[in-house]
């Protein structure tokens, strides 16, 4: 029982450390999503080439960070005519170039990892564009698109977020950024993102809380931690995506696990590879199979794994040459700090009314009467 209690306590303390970052990141993402309608995304990605891929990166970065939502939205874009390259670029961008992910990574393990996440995401997209035809032929792409058009929309995340984004986004654009309807649109996106990701985030903190109790020998059994730099880095970036895929945790939820791995001795590139692997976790690989067929799914996962490894190696080399790899690793005390009177307490206190206010605004107007009177006044002001 002491182990169970310590794991839960660690999970809570780590969540406490980044609560403000989660709320801030989701709020920024919700504002961006409310101003970028889904219809514009679908029109912009209808072609092929560098322009479509660049737009896919920009629009993916403006979307939710939920891996499941990214896959479902990408399926919608793909069946409407977006190329495989721009579809995959959208998925990479929406899970690696989004605000909330970068803020949480910064809060837990440092700005160097946030910078590496963003730069590595771009490297992955470039590598994917160059290697795509080695894995996916035009004929296989056409077959996958035909299959996607026959398959019903696959994941609940897609339905809920899509409807809110279209309806709320349209209202928000008509009302302007200062209108109540504009903020209802933002709040709807905020609530849907939380509803999509709370399970992954909770699982990530819980796993990190329990894994954080394990001895150093556990990490040495999974990863090479004492070897020449080149061999250690190569082994880490090859193994880390496999561990991530088997953990079933994706999106922002894998950041706490990455922090524990970094503290346990895994290389910088290995941590980045672990963070990149949220689009190849087993449940998502099975969704690829359902949407596009087994052959296409296998090749997409192989392509993603290859780009993850290449991007992690490139980032390790660039950051090593620039002297940007941190030399000080977090300890148990820094990963799971006790609650104290500090900036975290102040930031979390400020984040709480934002969180409550967003959820209050996102409720249907007819249900607002069940809220406390102070919430109703805040919603109508």
Question: At a CB cut-off of 8 Å and minimum separation 6, what does 353 contact?
Answer: none
pLDDT tens profile 160-202: 444 434 434 444 444 555 677 888 888 888 887 788 667 777 8
HEC states along 162-173? HHHHHHHHHHHH
Taking CA atoms, 229 is separated from 84, 236, 329, in Å, by 36, 10, 17
pLDDT (0 to 100) of residue 41: 57
pLDDT reading at 36 higher than 70: no
Residue 350 has a CB neighbour count (10 Å cut-off) of 12
Residue 321 tokens, joined: 């040459």
Q: Kindly list the distances between the CA atom of residue 259 and the CA atoms of 127, 201, 234, 246, 252, in Å, as whole numbers in the listed order.
A: 26, 14, 19, 17, 12
Cα–Cα distances in angstroms (integers) from residue 13 to residues 192, 193, 343, in the given order: 25, 23, 15
Say if residue 378's pLDDT is above 60: no
Q: Rounded to an integer, what distance in angstroms lies between the CA atom of residue 365 and that of residue 361? A: 8
Q: Give the span between the Cα atoms of 61 and 98, in whole angstroms.
A: 5
**Per-residue pLDDT at 39:** 61
Q: What is the pLDDT of residue 198?
A: 79
Per-residue pLDDT of 336-377, as tens digits, reads: 777 888 777 898 899 899 999 988 888 876 554 444 444 444
Specify whether the CB–CB gap between 211 and 260 falls below 8 A. yes
Confidence band, pLDDT 50/70/90 cuts, at residue 225: confident
Q: What is the C-alpha separation between 240 and 278, in angstroms, rounded?
A: 11
Mean pLDDT (the chain) is 79
Listed in order, strand segments (DSSP E) in the chain are none
Cβ proximity of 371 and 363 under 8 Å: yes
* Dist CA 12 CA 155 (whole Å): 29
Q: pLDDT for 238-282, tens place per residue?
A: 999 988 888 767 777 788 888 888 888 889 999 999 999 888 888
CA gap 124, 26 in Å, rounded:
24
Predicted TM-score of the model (pTM): 0.72
The pLDDT, as a whole number, for residue 177 is 52
pLDDT tens, residue by residue, 290-328? 889 999 999 999 999 999 999 999 999 999 999 999 988
pLDDT at 139: 93
**Residue 278 exposure: Cα atoms within 13 Å on the Cβ side:** 34
The yes-or-no verdict on residue 37 having pLDDT over 80 is no
Other beta carbons within 10 angstroms of residue 140's beta carbon come to 16
Question: What does the pLDDT read at residue 366?
Answer: 56
- Given a contact cutoff of 8 angstroms between Cβ atoms, the answer to whether 254 and 247 are in contact is yes
Q: How far apart are CA 287 and CA 289, in angstroms?
A: 5
Cα→Cα distances 41→52, 117, 292, 300, Å: 10, 23, 21, 22
Q: Which residue has the tokens 């006790």?
A: 338
pLDDT at 8: 87
Report the distance separating Cα 277 and Cα 247, nearest Å.
10
**SS3 category, 364:** coil
Q: How far is CA 201 from CA 16, 106, 156, 248, 256, in A?
A: 13, 16, 17, 11, 9
What is the number of alpha carbons within 13 Å of residue 48 lying toward its C-beta?
8
Helix H or strand E encompassing 11: helix 2-35
pLDDT on residue 269 = 93
């Amino acid at each position: 029982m002491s182990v169970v209690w310590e794991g839960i306590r660690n999970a809570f303390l780590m969540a406490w450390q980044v609560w403000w970052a989660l709320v801030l990141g989701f709020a920024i993402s919700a504002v961006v999503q409310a101003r970028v309608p889904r219809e514009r995304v679908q029109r912009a990605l209808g072609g092929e080439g560098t322009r479509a891929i660049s737009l896919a990166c920009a629009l993916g970065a403006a979307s939710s960070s939920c891996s499941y939502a990214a896959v479902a939205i990408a399926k919608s874009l793909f069946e409407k005519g977006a190329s495989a390259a721009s579809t995959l670029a959208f998925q990479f961008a929406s899970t690696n170039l989004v605000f909330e992910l970068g803020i949480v990574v910064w809060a837990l393990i440092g700005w160097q990892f946030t910078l590496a996440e963003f730069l590595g995401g771009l490297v992955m997209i470039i590598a994917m564009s160059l290697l795509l035809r080695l894995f996916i032929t035009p004929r296989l792409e056409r077959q996958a698109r035909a299959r996607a058009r026959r398959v019903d929309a696959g994941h609940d995340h897609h339905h809920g977020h899509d409807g809110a984004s279209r309806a709320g986004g349209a209202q928000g654009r008509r009302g302007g950024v200062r209108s109540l309807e504009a903020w209802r649109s933002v709040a709807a996106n905020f609530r849907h993102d939380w509803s999509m990701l709370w399970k992954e985030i909770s699982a990530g903190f819980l796993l990190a809380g329990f894994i954080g109790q394990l001895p150093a020998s556990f990490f040495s059994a999974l990863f090479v931690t004492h070897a020449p730099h080149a061999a250690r880095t190569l082994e880490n970036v090859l193994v880390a995506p496999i561990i991530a895929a088997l953990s079933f945790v994706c999106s922002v939820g894998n950041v706490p696990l990455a922090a524990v791995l970094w503290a346990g001795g895994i290389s910088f590139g290995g941590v980045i590879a672990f963070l990149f692997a949220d689009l190849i976790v087993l449940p998502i690989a099975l969704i690829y199979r359902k949407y596009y067929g087994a052959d296409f799914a296998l090749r997409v996962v192989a392509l993603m794994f290859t780009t993850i490894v290449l991007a992690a190696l490139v980032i390790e080399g660039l950051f090593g040459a620039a002297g940007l790899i941190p030399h000080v690793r977090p300890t148990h005390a820094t990963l799971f700090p006790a609650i104290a009177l500090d900036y975290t307490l102040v930031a979390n206190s400020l984040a709480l009314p934002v969180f409550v206010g967003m959820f209050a605004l996102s409720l249907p107007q007819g249900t607002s009467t069940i809220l406390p009177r102070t919430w109703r006044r805040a919603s109508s002001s």
